[in-house]
Chains A and B, each alone.
Chain A
Amino acid sequence: MLRVTITISLKEGVLDPEGQAIAHSLGNLGYHEASDIRTGRIISFTMDESNHARANQKVAKMCETLLVNTVIENYDIAIEDQAGDE
């Protein structure tokens, strides 16, 4: 079993109004050192698969067909052996 973590973020150049609102709020709290805030989404799941390369290929396909809107979003796939597995 593998543990898959997909990190989805907005592409560079795509306006992130939520990130801007968070930056504004952090500024109000005095954290002026935080800038260029970008928001995103993490999707993680357990996968019944043992081969990392095969898993990666399948997960990329999941991203392209459903999980990610490639018009505005990038994704990054991390795959590790499920804790407790040999």
Chain B
Amino acid sequence: MTNVAVISFPGSNCDRDIITAVNHITGTQPTQYWHKETSMEKHDLVILPGGFSFGDYLRCGAIAARSPIMDEVMEHVWRGGFVLGICNGFQILTEAGILPGTLMRNKQLQFVCRDVTLSLHHSQSNAILGQCDDNRQLVIPVAHNEGNYFADPDTLKKITDKEQIALTYTNTGAANYNPNGAINDIAGVTSDNGRVLGMMPHPERKAEAIHGGVDGHYLLTSIIEAAS
């Protein structure tokens, strides 16, 4: 059974949602860590949840990325461990330098909270998505003010060539299919070893039929299986 950890920072507000979603999949309770902790047991998958860590002060995720627990997360990454960062968790991973690029203010300067359609790419090149099917589109909500993915041209070329652009907003024909102006419609990227995924949409908010969809459950189940 996949052994999952969830890290909470002051201002994390999706930690309990992701714990519930994981619990429904694995039947076990993930281990929760507070940002000040300086040691972490070995886990298969570490999840950085959504929220507004440290009130988004300085830059989203900037202060959380320098928290004591992040040394442990970094060590887990070096060991080849699996990591999933959702929304603020994605912002923290880019601020920590674990994932390339950065998340800027939404292009239209508005907080956006709604379902988006996502396409999966290069699942077979990224171990964390190894159980996913690229042909499956996912409808999962976003809820953020800073989700506008940006990377300089060199980085963008590198992550394109290395097949790290694993999730994009699908051009459904709607004018606002890309909810935040992200470059190349990027919704999620992986690390160059394919074991860390950061994504702006919230799979834990589409994890049960009562949520109006289970595409998030599908994605989380696939990731948990890949990490086992």
Contact = CB atoms under 8 A, between A and B. Distances in A.
Interface in B92-127: 94-95, 101-102, 104-109
B181 A17 contact: yes
Where chain A touches its partner, the secondary structure class is helix
B109 A17 contact: yes
Residue of B66, B104, B106, B108 with most chain A CB atoms under a 10 A cut-off: B104
20 contacts: A14-B104, A14-B150, A15-B150, A15-B181, A17-B105, A17-B109, A17-B181, A66-B66, A67-B58, A69-B59, A69-B62, A69-B95, A69-B102, A71-B94, A71-B101, A71-B102, A71-B150, A71-B152, A72-B102, A72-B104
**Which of under 10, 10 to 19, 20 to 34, or 35 or more describes the interface residues of A?**
10 to 19
Where chain B touches its partner, the secondary structure class is loop
A22 B106 CA distance: 15
B66 A18 contact: no
Given A71-B150, A71-B151, A66 B107 contact: no
A66 B58 contact: yes
Contacts of A18: 105, 109
Nearest to B107: A17
Nearest to B151: A71
Contact of A15 (B66, B107, B151): B107
Contacts of A17: 105-109, 148, 181
A37 interface: no
Interface string B72-109: 00000000000000000000001100000110111111
Interface in A48-71: 65-67, 69, 71
Nearest to B108: A17
